[in-house]
Amino acid sequence: VARGRLARPGGRLAVGIDLGGTTLNGLLVGEDGGLLARRRRATPKAEGAEAVLAAVRDMAAELLAEAHALKDSAAGAPALASREIIGLGFGIPGPVDAERGVCLFSPNLGWRDLDVASYFRQAFDLPVCVDNDVRAATLGEAWLGAGRPYRTFICLTVGTGIGAGVMLDGRLWRGPGSCAGEIGHIPIDMRPDAPLCGCGRRGCLEAVASGTAIAREAGMSSAREVADAARRGDAGAIAVLERAAAFLGLGISAAITLYNPEAVVVGGGVAGAWDLIGPVVRRTVEERTFPPNLAGLRGIFPAALGQDAGAVGAASLVLAPGVAQVEGASP
Amino acid sequence: VARGRLARPGGRLAVGIDLGGTTLNGLLVGEDGGLLARRRRATPKAEGAEAVLAAVRDMAAELLAEAHALKDSAAGAPALASREIIGLGFGIPGPVDAERGVCLFSPNLGWRDLDVASYFRQAFDLPVCVDNDVRAATLGEAWLGAGRPYRTFICLTVGTGIGAGVMLDGRLWRGPGSCAGEIGHIPIDMRPDAPLCGCGRRGCLEAVASGTAIAREAGMSSAREVADAARRGDAGAIAVLERAAAFLGLGISAAITLYNPEAVVVGGGVAGAWDLIGPVVRRTVEERTFPPNLAGLRGIFPAALGQDAGAVGAASLVLAPGVAQVEGASP
């Protein structure tokens, strides 16, 4: 894990900010993967879409100021002073047109058709890259995390909702409509009375295996509360988590069979209960996956960067285009 | 449809042979997509693996002789005489290492770890390309068939089994283990007593929606017999086909949600009953697919090249590398 690692002197810097519906997480990242400064604050979404934008701008300004301070303090050390701030990257919850840098729709931030790239380009006069938060986290895990050894892997984010980023042969597969990897919405619970999903359909993976679904099934306020109860031996909580994990395993099995990845990485809040769900996910995948595809799978791993994956990946959009090559973005 | 189309004078020629478990289908194809000669015969698989190989070699020799005859007869027409025979392509049922041209395993042909490319290279002293039959059919539909207008589409083959070829941004996605697109083996019937699949798991798409499954459910000898009965108004046959079509729609829905294709093309023997299954497949996909992914889908179409798709695609491996660019073949 790169966290806290010291950057090599010199080299390029970028700001990466992960815009969560609950938390804004910002990092100053070196091109060698060093995390040089961080900012973290609650997303002021109750104050409206403009307030969220202003909070992100302020955070970016603070991280850029840190970068300049680093350079100034290193005035006597030419290698450090040679550091160049090359841009800003942003990960946004919801569909994003990455080519234009436009947020198409983000219910969590209250944004719709917002030209994020132009806004920050004008604010800071620096290059700006924007992508969906799940894809940003995938790029983060690809660059510095659990996906690093693999050219082809799927990175699931299991939290309030369920999404996935798809790395195929070292490139992010986004799809011509920018909505590849929507694993949260594959039909998985086929019963006619399956739980209703936020998308309006019944029985989507997200409706039966997300943090929201886990909390609802257990009658608790959060998946974390369910995990805590399960760790205390609460049989009901254990049953709810195992059921969700089995559904997750079925969804992952479908993705392995279609994409033939070398690895699957699972992040997001629910991955914090990996000790409880991991064994059931793995067993279900082993039982339900087509043998040749299973044979090609090196493993199912919890994400390595935790809550920093999105911000690291957002910075990598600017810093590590070799990892972040975006394919299929234009129709 | 290219069938019967006259080739432009001049230009390059290739032989393409689709090695089915039941039928060997061979074509002499021009680089403009003209189909200049054909051979078709039953696969002599009862006579053993060697006999199949010899029958394919004889068919290839006959098609090459046709190509030479074309050139000779055009001796007075320099443009025709300038035609160049540039190689042979083969589509093989079962997993293939396309990079090495090796058939890893084909129960239908009785082959295992057979170096097909070397065999035919030595036999004819010409370049040879080999790929899986479903992928060859996908390349055929991409080059001259229903996939032609799309850079990103999925081509299902629904026959004895169910497989799919995946074209992403104009390139075939094969997967690092050469088993991407194994849609026949995604878990789709979640009941504990779901039908057993040939792969040893229960409830795979292939176990509930292939031609084999349709015939078994209806207690008839083939899916074609079931389709004929349904067209005569047999309520039981109609119910069996509609149930299989609904499962097929669920599988296609999962693939659309994961890959975000512009189109889905359905070929194989069961596509011959498209008048009966098409409406149910489309309705299920419309009802069960995540709206943004559904919005990006231009349609679900029957394959256009019919039984020639595999042979056309096999020839395109040699003739149209722009279409046939193979990605992710090496680990």
- The confidence score (pLDDT) of residue B325 equals 42
Q: What is the pLDDT of residues B286-318, one digit of tens each?
A: 999 999 999 999 999 999 999 899 999 999 999
- Band of residue B175 on the pLDDT scale cut at 50, 70, 90: very high
Question: Could you tell me which residues come within 8 angstroms of residue B215 by beta carbon, excluding any fewer than 6 positions away?
Answer: B221, B222, B223, B225, B226
Task: Tell me whether strands B35-42 and B23-30 are parallel, antiparallel or unpaired.
Answer: antiparallel
- The confidence score (pLDDT) of residue B318 equals 93
A68 vs chain B: nearest CA distance in angstroms? 41
Mutant choice from B185, B247, B287 vs A, greatest count of A C-beta within 10 A: B185
Tokens (6 digits) for A48 = 């409206």
Please state, in angstroms and rounded to a whole number, the distance separating the CA atoms of residues A259 and A157.
Answer: 17
Strand order in the sheet with B102-106: B96-97, B102-106, B111-114
**Which residue of chain A has the CA closest to B263?**
A176
pTM: 0.90
| Terminal CA-CA length for chain B | 36
Asked if B138 reaches chain A (Cβ–Cβ under 8 Å), the answer is: no
**Which residue of chain B has the CA closest to A326?**
B169
Q: Which helix (H) or strand (E) holds B265?
A: strand B263-267
Q: Which helix (H) or strand (E) holds A264?
A: strand A263-267
Asked if B182 reaches chain A (Cβ–Cβ under 8 Å), the answer is: yes
Chain B partners of A293 at a C-beta cutoff of 8 Å?
Answer: 177, 179, 182, 185
Please state, in angstroms and rounded to a whole number, the distance separating the CA atoms of residues A200 and A10.
Answer: 51
- Band of residue A126 on the pLDDT scale cut at 50, 70, 90: very high
Please state, in angstroms and rounded to a whole number, the distance separating the CA atoms of residues B30 and B37.
Answer: 10
- Band of residue A320 on the pLDDT scale cut at 50, 70, 90: confident
**Which residue of chain A has the CA closest to B250?**
A187
B177 vs chain A: nearest CA distance in angstroms? 6
Largest alpha-carbon pair distance within chain A?
Answer: 70
Average pLDDT over residues B249-253: 97
- Band of residue B74 on the pLDDT scale cut at 50, 70, 90: low
Please state, in angstroms and rounded to a whole number, the distance separating the CA atoms of residues B199 and B178.
Answer: 17
Chain B partners of A95 at a C-beta cutoff of 8 Å?
Answer: 292
Q: Note whether B189 contacts A186, CB cutoff 8 Å.
A: no
pLDDT exceeds cutoff 70 at A331? no
Q: Which helix (H) or strand (E) holds A28?
A: strand A23-30
Task: Tell me whether strands A171-173 and A128-132 are parallel, antiparallel or unpaired.
Answer: unpaired
B45 vs chain A: nearest CA distance in angstroms? 24
Phi, psi torsion values for B81, nearest 5 degrees: -65, -20
Please state, as a whole number, how many other Cβ atoms lie within 10 Å of the Cβ of residue A262: 21
Tokens (6 digits) for A168 = 């195929």
Question: Could you tell me which residues come within 8 angstroms of residue A149 by beta carbon, excluding any fewer than 6 positions away?
Answer: A263, A298
pLDDT exceeds cutoff 50 at B208? yes
- The confidence score (pLDDT) of residue B1 equals 35
Nearest to A16 by CA among A178, A106, A156, A137: A137
Q: What is the mean pLDDT of chain B?
A: 90
CA B130 to chain centre: 13
Phi, psi torsion values for A262, nearest 5 degrees: -80, -25
Nearest to B140 by CA among B211, B55, B35: B35
Task: Tell me whether strands A162-168 and B35-42 are parallel, antiparallel or unpaired.
Answer: unpaired
Angle at B65 between CA B96 and CA B111, to 5 degrees: 25
Return the CA Rg of chain A. 20
Phi, psi torsion values for B193, nearest 5 degrees: -100, 25
- Band of residue B6 on the pLDDT scale cut at 50, 70, 90: very low
The single-letter DSSP state of residue A181 is T
Asked if A192 reaches chain B (Cβ–Cβ under 8 Å), the answer is: no
How long a stretch of residues is chain A? 331
Burial (CB < 10 A; 0-12, 13-18, 19+), residue B71, is middle
- The confidence score (pLDDT) of residue B17 equals 98
Beta bridge partners of B322: none
Chain A partners of B174 at a C-beta cutoff of 8 Å?
Answer: 260
**Which residue of chain B has the CA closest to A170?**
B328
Asked if A262 reaches chain B (Cβ–Cβ under 8 Å), the answer is: yes
Chain A partners of B330 at a C-beta cutoff of 8 Å?
Answer: none
Nearest to A177 among B164, B260, B288 (CB): B260
Task: Please report the ipTM that was assigned to this predicted complex.
Answer: 0.89
Beta bridge partners of B88: B15, B128
Please state, in angstroms and rounded to a whole number, the distance separating the CA atoms of residues A16 and B325.
Answer: 35
The SS3 of residue A55 is helix
B136 contacts B18 by C-beta, under 8 angstroms? yes
| Helices marked H in chain B | 49-73, 78-81, 116-124, 133-144, 205-209, 211-218, 223-231, 235-259, 274-288, 291-295, 309-319, 321-324
Nearest to A163 by CA among A203, A195, A210, A199: A210
The SS3 of residue B174 is coil
Tokens (6 digits) for B163 = 């497989």
B36 contacts B65 by C-beta, under 8 angstroms? no
A321 contacts A140 by C-beta, under 8 angstroms? no
Q: Which residues of A75-110 are buried (b: 16+ CB within 10 A; e: fewer)?
A: eeeeebeebebbbbbbbbbbbbbbeebbbbbbebbb
Asked if A200 reaches chain B (Cβ–Cβ under 8 Å), the answer is: yes
Q: Note whether A259 contacts B175, CB cutoff 8 Å.
A: yes
Residues 272-301 (A) with a CB less than 8 A from some CB of B: 287-293, 295-296
Chain B partners of A134 at a C-beta cutoff of 8 Å?
Answer: none
Asked if A152 reaches chain B (Cβ–Cβ under 8 Å), the answer is: yes
Please state, in angstroms and rounded to a whole number, the distance separating the CA atoms of residues A167 and A181.
Answer: 10
- The confidence score (pLDDT) of residue A79 equals 60
Asked if A178 reaches chain B (Cβ–Cβ under 8 Å), the answer is: yes
- The confidence score (pLDDT) of residue B49 equals 87
pLDDT exceeds cutoff 50 at A328? no
Task: For residue B20, give the amino acid letter.
Answer: G
- Band of residue A9 on the pLDDT scale cut at 50, 70, 90: low
Q: What is the pLDDT of residues A72-105, one digit of tens each?
A: 776 666 666 667 899 999 999 988 998 899 998 8
Asked if B183 reaches chain A (Cβ–Cβ under 8 Å), the answer is: yes
Query: What is A68-101 written as a DSSP string?
Result: HHHHHHTTT-HHHHT-EEEEEEEEESS-EETTTT
Nearest to A229 by CA among A246, A241, A244: A241
Residues 71-130 (A) with a CB less than 8 A from some CB of B: 95
Q: What is the pLDDT of residues A151-167, one digit of tens each?
A: 999 999 999 889 999 99
Q: What is the mean pLDDT of chain A?
A: 90
Query: What is B96-144 written as a DSSP string?
Result: EETTTTEEEEETTTTEEEE-HHHHHHHHHSS-EEEEEHHHHHHHHHHHH
- The confidence score (pLDDT) of residue B89 equals 98
Chain B partners of A183 at a C-beta cutoff of 8 Å?
Answer: 257-258
Please state, in angstroms and rounded to a whole number, the distance separating the CA atoms of residues A281 and B309.
Answer: 39
